[in-house]
Amino acid sequence: MMLMLTSSMMAIIITSIMMMMCTTISKISKKDREKMSPFECGFDPKSSARTPFSIQFFLIAVLFLIFDIEIAIILPIIIIMKWSLTSTWITVITFFIFILILGLYHEWNNGVLEWAK
């Protein structure tokens, strides 16, 4: 019990110290305007460096990441097939792929996959 209490207190203390350090460092960097401005060979910038990008591109990138992670989840399932029952394995993989197809249909139905409107 004492070990858990000590570990919790150490975690809280370390977290608090790191939060205070981050706050102090961020206040220092906000004061320096030259460091925050974009660099263009010593000249004043011609336009804003923080130009907006297409939200459609962002949604496609998130969709790609979601399906990429799900492929990483599917690969170990193939290895597990050796140690599990075939009927259980087929049920799990079918359910998983059904959820993926349902998610893809939902994205398609909401128009996320249409690049130009």
Q: Give the pLDDT means over successive 10-residue stretches in the chain (117 positions).
A: 88 93 73 61 62 74 80 81 85 88 86 70
Within-domain flag for 115: no
Within-domain flag for 78: yes
pLDDT at 111: 78
Within-domain flag for 8: yes
Distance CA 19, CA 33 (A): 23
Distance CA 12, CA 1 (A): 17
Q: How many CB atoms lie within 10 A of CB 112?
A: 15
One-letter amino acid at 41 equals C
For 41, the token pair is: 């060979």
The number of folded domains in the chain is 2
pLDDT at 15: 94
pLDDT at 52: 72
pLDDT at 36: 63
Within-domain flag for 116: no
pLDDT at 9: 93
Within-domain flag for 73: yes
Q: Are 25 and 60 in a shared domain?
A: no
- Global pTM reads 0.46
Within-domain flag for 99: yes
pLDDT at 50: 66
- 8 lies in which domain range? 2-29
